[in-house]
Every structure is written in C-alpha cells, then in structure tokens.
Amino acid sequence: MQYRYAEREDYSYLASGNVLKHFTGMPCFPVRLTLELFGRAREFTGRERLRVYDPCSGSGFSLSAMGIANQRQIAALYASDVDPTCVEATECNTSLLSREGLALARERLAERGASDERLAQFDDAAAKILPMLKKTPPPVSVFRHDILSSPPSLPEPVDFVFADLPYGIMTDWKSDDGTADPTERFFENIAPVLAPHGVLAVAGRKDLRPPREGFRRLERISAGHRLVWLLTPAE
C-alpha cells in the first residue's frame, strides 16, 4: 500500500516494550499502519479533531500509539474489551498519554529495580514522546463491554472507530452470549456509535467482507496478511 499520512520514519519510540507496555498474548497492530488509518479517517471525515473508539482494545497498544502521535488531532478516546485483563492492560497503556502518567511509569520502573540499560531505553523513547503530549491530554474512557452482545453506551457518537478483529491465531472472539456469527454481530453493534460522517477502519483476515447494508465502502487496503476496510455509515 502507498502511505499518505504516516511518513517513512523510525517509530521505534512507540514500539511495544519501550514506553508502552507489552502484554504477553496480546498482539500489537503495526504503528505506521495505525497512524496512516487515522490520517485517512481525518481526510474522509473532514474533521480537525476526532473522537476515537476501539471496541476490541486488547492491550490498548494501538489506541495509545495513536493517542500519543496524534494527540493534538484527538478530541476524546474510548476503549473497551470483553476481557477484564485487557481492560486493565488498556488502562495501563493509555495512562501514558499524559506527562504525569509517563513520569509515574518511569518512577515505578526504577522502583522495581530496572537495569540502567532498561531505564535508558525508556528515557530515549520518552524524550521523543514528551513534546507530542499536550499539557492537558484528551479525555480517555476505558470500560468492559462485549461488542458482540450490544452497542456500547458512549456519551456521544464517534468520528473514528478502529477495530483490529480477532484472527483466531493469537486471539479469538470471546463473548458473554456465545454468538454464532461474531463478525456480523460486530458490524450490527458498531454501526449505532458512528456519527453520520464517521469512519470505521476494520482489520481482519484476507477473507473479511463488510456487510452489504448499513455501510458504504470507502477503501480496501491490503497490508501484509491483513485486509483493512474503511467504511462509513450508508445514507
């Protein structure tokens, strides 16, 4: 794919395990692709600042990377997951979107006896992140919710939904109600949270197909073993 918004640069400061925390068994979506999708969403919506929601947040890595690199273009961040462990992980990573949270993470790392090398690794990444953070970061709300059971209760419609669907490799769908067709239910329950101009970026396997009704297709992006669809509510 051709990148239009995520320049070819070193994004290692956002790599899992530097400042953002890595959680075993929770895969990380590529940072550059995440930032590119955000840029394209802004283009399609025509909005300067976006309200963003991740309904399958996992460790919160993608949402946090997005929230750091694009903080001045974000009005609010929402995240949910059916797994309480994922909710805790997301809360941990999204706490790093503030200067205070970044400083506290550094203190805790030192208190746990991290090596000088590990602290230097953190400091090098933090030095690149700090200038990106606003004095007052955008509000963040993280909560437990099963997107397959019902639409989430958000305080406002959102401009951009980013969803990296479970592939069945490292992760798989989990639901409280034993949903038989999870992808279909996902699309049904995510539609009500999107603003009329909103964009849904949904990533999955190469056989992922959006529903024929309810959404208008904007772009189809092939990226490695992933297929990403950019969709907007049908008029």
Q: Quick one: three-class SS letters along 128-155?
A: HHHHHCCCCCCCEEEEECCCCCCCCCCC
CB count within 10 Å of CB 85 equals 13
Distance CA(175)–CA(104), nearest Å, equals 34
Please say whether the dihedral angle defined by the alpha carbons of residues 154, 155, 161 and 164, taken in this order, is positive or negative.
negative
From first to last of its 235 residues, what are the pLDDT tens digits of the chain? 788 999 878 899 999 999 999 898 887 899 999 999 999 999 999 999 999 999 999 999 999 999 999 999 999 999 999 999 999 999 999 999 999 999 999 999 999 999 999 999 999 999 999 999 999 999 999 999 999 999 999 999 999 999 999 864 334 566 555 555 688 999 999 999 999 999 999 999 888 999 989 999 999 999 888 899 999 999 7
Asked if residue 93 belongs to a domain, the reply is yes
**Other beta carbons within 10 Å of 22:** 14
Residue 196 included in any domain: yes
107 within some domain: no
CB contact at 8 A, 179 and 185: yes
Q: 39: domain range?
A: 25-97+138-233
Question: CA 96 → CA 89, 109, 171, distances in Å?
Answer: 12, 13, 24
Q: How far is CA 131 from CA 89, 105, 125, in A?
A: 24, 17, 11
Beta-carbon contacts of residue 107 (< 8 Å; ≥ 6 apart):
none
Residue 130 within a domain: no
Residues 6+ apart with CB under 8 A from 17: none
Sign of CA dihedral 163, 165, 184, 150: negative
Judge whether 131 lies within some domain. Answer: no
pTM metric for this prediction? 0.92
The structure tokens listed for 203 are 């990533």
Domain annotation covers residue 82: yes
Tell me the CATH number at 42: 3.40.50.150
92 in any annotated domain: yes
Total number of domains in the chain? 1
- Distance from C-alpha of 27 to C-alpha of 169, rounded to nearest angstrom: 10
What angle in degrees, to the nearest 10, is found between the helix axes of 99-111 and 116-129?
A: 180
**Residue 123 falls inside a structural domain:** no
Tokens of 124: 């090098």
Spatial neighbors of 139 by CB under 8 A, at least 6 apart, are: 76, 77
